[in-house]
Structure 1
Amino acid sequence: MQSPHETIASFLVGGQPRAPALHVVIILDHAYINGGQANVALASALGLKARGHEVTVFAAVGPVDQRLTEAGIDVVCLGQDDVNSQKNPLAFAVQVIWNAPARRALDKLLATLDPARSIVHVHGWAKALSPSIGRALKAHPALPIAYTMHEFFLVCPNGGFYDYPAETVCHRTPMSLACITRNCDSRNYPRKVLRLVRHAALDHLSGLPEACRHVITISDLQVEVAGPYFRPGTSFYRVDNPIDVPDLGPKTDPASGGFLFVGRLSPEKGAALFAQAADQAGIPATFVGDGPSGDELRTRYPGATFLGWKSPAEVRMLMREARALVFPSVWYEGQPLTVLESLAVGTPVIVSDVCAGRESVVDGETGLWFRTSDVGDLARCLTTLSDDALVARMSRAAYDRYWARPLTLDAHLDRLEEVYAQIAHLQAPALQASVMSDAPTRLAAGSRS
């Protein structure tokens, strides 16, 4: 007879579940795709369901993605607000600091789970669910819990280790006096104060950091930046995000296009840096996307091309036609999928050396690194990739290296199941303790019967 700690591990063999399958509870703020975090969480939910696992999605904000219900996935959606839908700022402030209804609803759900065949996977809480969900998680210590670090909210009040007014990476210790007194928020200091209060609740009331001791990362940079601020005993597991990109084959004319930026036109994304460097190098720049810096950039750089937002298929073809993608982000980014998509279609990438995108680019082989925020160094890279022969070599290398180990959904799910099994094994003492603590109750019930 299997002991409880062996049960979950036995479900997963060669990436395929044995019956009975796992019950995976996926926790995130939104029940629909509103960005990369939700995209990964819901893609994994659908993929795990297709592999035979039982899946429940727990979210605060609707509407519910229709694909979830069509796949037979149970969804608990609280129908709450986020920052974009709230009509009462004071009520929403209370919600993001301590969402009591979310805690109660999650506790009710978790109480129905069998710890021997379940795992809870937290993807996000900072936009609507709040740190209160930690109380519910801590109330069920036998349940294995995984936490994917899509951003840094579990350790940093503003979630990015980035000083928005200064437009630079922040190296202050979270919740230190220097952190508390610095207005690093993208909007204003009162909003920073709200985040500080929430973080105090996170650290001292919620128990969420203690519950999330098994942290899934999507880049080495995340561990380097945030690792020192996690609780002692935290375990880290690397699980790359999946990307949905077709294999179009090597490019036939890789040096025919220009230099392309894809993303939000905002200071932290480095859009202005690219525009300035391209102007300095005398090279035309093309932008796909829009944002708060859009009007200023269009005014200052009339020679650049601004295409606005495009569909994913259109973006993919623009990347395919480009000479190189320029990813000049000046802040930490977990795993920029735009960089990987570019490499997958055979387009080299010029990337800032401060963001995790550098981990996907082999400097001098599949693209170039430049010193972050250094206009001159970025201009040098643009000039270097004006060499058609060099671009052709990098294009082929980018394509070959990506497709040697493509980040497919199946690869993501295989690794996710491996990590679930490892976490379950490490959770064995708590599960065994739970079983033993329940024994007197079961014996007493048996004697009464």
Structure 2
Amino acid sequence: MKILLANKFYYPRGGDCIYTLNVESLLKNKGHEVAIFAMQHPENLPSTYQHYFPSETTFSLFTSLLESFQRPLGSKEVIQKFNYLVDDFQPDIVHLNNIHSQLSPVIAKIAYQRGIKVVWTLHDYKLLCPRYDCLRNGYTPCEQCFSDKIKVIKNRCMKNSLPASFLSYLEAIKWTKEKLEKYTTTFIAPSRFISAKMIQGGFDAGKIVILNNFIDIKKTEYEPFQKEDYYAYVGRLSIEKGINTLVKTAQQLPYKLKIAGTGPLWTDLKKNVSPENIEWLGHQSWPEIKELVGKARFTIIPSEWYENNPLSALESLCLGTPVLGANIGGIPELIEEEKNGMLFDSKNENDLKDKIEIMFSKEFDYQSIAKESCKRYAAEHYYTEIMKIYQQ
């Protein structure tokens, strides 16, 4: 088959990008032809198709007003370059990922109009929430826009800015649920939670298939499961990830916490939080993460937003390392209490503190966790299921 993968960025920037790269690799290894459509960016990986990529847009103070207005609604450049790529590549499937704003759903419309099947993997809640994360102003869980998109303006949800929120409102009413459903053959929901939210927001349940994300389990081969006396956080250092709650709680405990990752809170956290039991590792490559997570007693996902199907949890479990996760979003679907981890109430420092202490006192069957997780999240299983979706 010939599959065209579309995502805003073409480098390992976040979970959506890593997923796109993993799908590309998986499909190519199985003998399929794969093309890429993304926005130009200095960190993009080399691609045969990069001359089709539309120019970079950042929505910053330096971005022209016209460009900021046009891109989310479907710019001439995106339309032209996507049509060129479709003409030259002639895909059987257009598989969308995170495309809003920088690319826009105009590419779904083009594919539909040209009779090409559209599959869309849902990495966040952008089809329901103009902000994408169901957090009002980035702090408070909110679902008001599921039924009334004007709330994004009233609450100034985008950067607490009226112009930015107004643009997001225009984007939402341009690309309505009815249009997106019409253009898309199948939505892939990586968790039951996001599937339920899509249905709650009025999307047709018959168009949604639940399929967990996957990883290359060969890269998680790690024995003999010898653990050291610390726990670890791997991920973005930002408010919605719950890193402030974690750090505040960790300072009250004697256990060693190793934190890998960067983000908007990196500078402030390093400057203002420096107890001996917290180690800041910054950005880490996969071999370093593998070593860090493989030797940890457990990893922690303290999210305060509707986390979908976090790859960091899948990687941890496939390495045989239990997960202590916030009871929010799709995280509970990954954790069997006291078998491969535990849950705590999101934002609840006291419950988090108690559960960290319990996790350090518990014994887990690390080899069993790795074996069962590798079976569940293997690329081979994903390939079988994704081909059913492509071919249905």
TM-score normalised to the size of structure 1? 0.78
The reply to whether residue 311 of structure 1 matches residue 282 of structure 2 is: no
The answer to whether the 8 Å contact 1:347/1:399 transfers is: yes
Aligned to 1:98: 74
Aligned pair partner of 1:144 in 117, 127, 132: 117
User: Could you tell me how far apart the structure 2 residues matched to 1:55 and 1:163 are?
Assistant: 38
| Pairwise CA distance, 1:300 | 4.2
User: Could you tell me how far apart the structure 1 residues matched to 2:98 and 2:67 are?
Assistant: 17
Deviations 1:340-377 (A, max 9, x none): 11112121111001032221111111111001111000
Aligned to 2:22: 43
User: Could you tell me how far apart the structure 2 residues matched to 1:81 and 1:75 are?
Assistant: 12
The reply to whether residue 120 of structure 1 matches residue 94 of structure 2 is: yes
Aligned pair partner of 1:58 in 24, 37, 53: 37
The answer to whether the 8 Å contact 1:213/1:231 transfers is: no
The answer to whether the 8 Å contact 1:138/1:208 transfers is: no
1:219-368 matched pairs, under 5 angstroms: 219-232=191-204, 234-244=206-216, 245-251=219-225, 253-254=226-227, 256-298=228-270, 299-303=272-276, 304-368=278-342
1:169-180 matched pairs, under 5 angstroms: 169-174=141-146, 175-180=148-153
Aligned to 1:77: 52
The answer to whether the 8 Å contact 2:152/2:158 transfers is: no
Aligned to 1:439: none
Residues 86 and 130 (structure 1 numbering): CA distance in 2 closer, same or farther, change over 3 Å? farther
Structure whose alpha-carbon radius of gyration is higher: 1
Task: Kindly indicate whether structure 1 or structure 2 has the higher relative contact order, using CA contacts under 8 Å at least 6 residues apart.
Answer: 1
Aligned AA (1:42): L
User: Could you tell me how far apart the structure 2 residues matched to 1:53 and 1:396 are?
Assistant: 34
Aligned AA (2:262): D
Aligned to 1:436: none
Aligned AA (1:183): R
User: Could you tell me how far apart the structure 1 residues matched to 2:210 and 2:244 are?
Assistant: 32
User: Could you tell me how far apart the structure 1 residues matched to 2:251 and 2:335 are?
Assistant: 24
| Pairwise CA distance, 1:183 | 2.4
Deviations 1:68-120 (A, max 9, x none): 54xxxx56623411328994342431223332221233345446777xx8222
Aligned to 1:199: 172
| Pairwise CA distance, 1:236 | 1.1
Aligned pair partner of 2:7 in 10, 21, 28: 28
Deviations 1:251-285 (A, max 9, x none): 1x33x321211112211011111112222344333
User: Could you tell me how far apart the structure 2 residues matched to 1:261 and 1:161 are?
Assistant: 23
User: Could you tell me how far apart the structure 1 residues matched to 2:126 and 2:175 are?
Assistant: 10
Aligned pair partner of 1:376 in 350, 362, 386: 350
Residues 399 and 31 (structure 1 numbering): CA distance in 2 closer, same or farther, change over 3 Å? closer
What is the root-mean-square deviation of aligned Cα atoms in Å?
2.7
Aligned AA (1:268): E
The answer to whether the 8 Å contact 1:31/1:77 transfers is: no
User: Could you tell me how far apart the structure 2 residues matched to 1:266 and 1:246 are?
Assistant: 26
How many residue pairs align between the two structures? 385
Residues 84 and 307 (structure 1 numbering): CA distance in 2 closer, same or farther, change over 3 Å? farther
User: Could you tell me how far apart the structure 2 residues matched to 1:39 and 1:108 are?
Assistant: 26
User: Could you tell me how far apart the structure 2 residues matched to 1:286 and 1:32 are?
Assistant: 25
Residues 249 and 144 (structure 1 numbering): CA distance in 2 closer, same or farther, change over 3 Å? same
**Tell me, which stretches of 5 or more residues in structure 1 are unaligned?**
1-21, 423-449
Residues 129 and 176 (structure 1 numbering): CA distance in 2 closer, same or farther, change over 3 Å? closer
**Tell me, which stretches of 5 or more residues in structure 2 are unaligned?**
none
Deviations 1:161-193 (A, max 9, x none): 12244x232122333444431122346343222
Residues 306 and 49 (structure 1 numbering): CA distance in 2 closer, same or farther, change over 3 Å? closer
Aligned pair partner of 2:373 in 402, 411, 414: 402
Three-state SS of the structure 2 residue aligned to 1:225 is helix
